[in-house]
Amino acid sequence: MAPPDIVVFDYGFGNVRSATRAIEEAGGSATLTADRERALAADGLLVPGVGAFSACMRGLSRADGPRIIAERVSAGRPLLGICVGLQVLFDASDEFDEHTPGLGIFPGVVGPLDNPVVPHMGWNTVRVADGSRLFEGVADRRFYFVHSFAVPAAPVPGAAVTTCRYGSEFVAAIESGTVAATQFHPEKSGQAGIQLLRNWLNTL
C-alpha cells in the first residue's frame, strides 16, 4: 500500500524542511508546495507556522491558504497545524496588542502567555484529552515548545483539547473530526513527535 500523500504547505512560514523530513520518517510521502490543486488533493495537508500571527496570516492569504483550508475542512479532508499553524485556526490573535482575525475554525483568541519568563522554550509535558488519537502511546512523553503566545485553555465543543501549563494552562493540541493541530513542534520532539505524526498518518 502506498504511503499517505502529505502536502506540507509552503507559504513562507515554518520549519518546512524539518516537517517534511519528520513526515517521511513517520511513514508518509511529503511534498513541499503551495500549489492549490496539490494542497486540495493530498491525503493530508500540514500547515506549519513560525513567527508573528499577523505575518503568518498575510503569508497564508498570499498563497490562498484561507480558502484552501476552508475547502478542506468543509470537505472533511484531513489537516494538521503546527505552532502558529494551530493558532491561525482560532478566531483571532491579540499578539503585540494587534488584533488580527484568524480562520475561525475554533473559538478562542491567542494572547500572551501568563508567565514572567517568555518565550516558553524547551520540553514540557501535556495533559492529554480523553479520546485523543494523536497521543496514543505518547501521552506521558515530553514535547518541544517555543512560543510566547497561546490560546488559553478552555473547552471547545466537539473537540478534544490537550493542554499544557506554563504559568497558566493553554491549548497544547486540539483534535476535532479531520482537523488536528499542536502548539508544540512534533518535528523537534524526537521519537515522541515522530510517533505523534505516525498516529496522525494512521487516521488518514
Per-chain mean pLDDT for the chain: 97
| CATH number reported for the structural domain that contains residue 66 in this entry | 3.40.50.880
Q: Looking at the annotation, which residues are catalytic? A: 83, 185, 187
What percent of the chain shows pLDDT beyond 70?
Answer: 100
Tens digits of per-residue pLDDT, 124-170?
Answer: 999 999 999 999 999 999 999 999 999 999 999 999 999 999 999 99
pLDDT value of position 89: 98
Q: How many domains does the chain have?
A: 1
On the question of pLDDT at 1 being above 90, the answer is no
* Cα–Cα dist 185/177, whole Å: 21
Tens digits of per-residue pLDDT, 71-114?
Answer: 999 999 999 999 999 999 999 999 988 899 999 999 999 999 99
132 is in which domain, residue-wise? 5-203
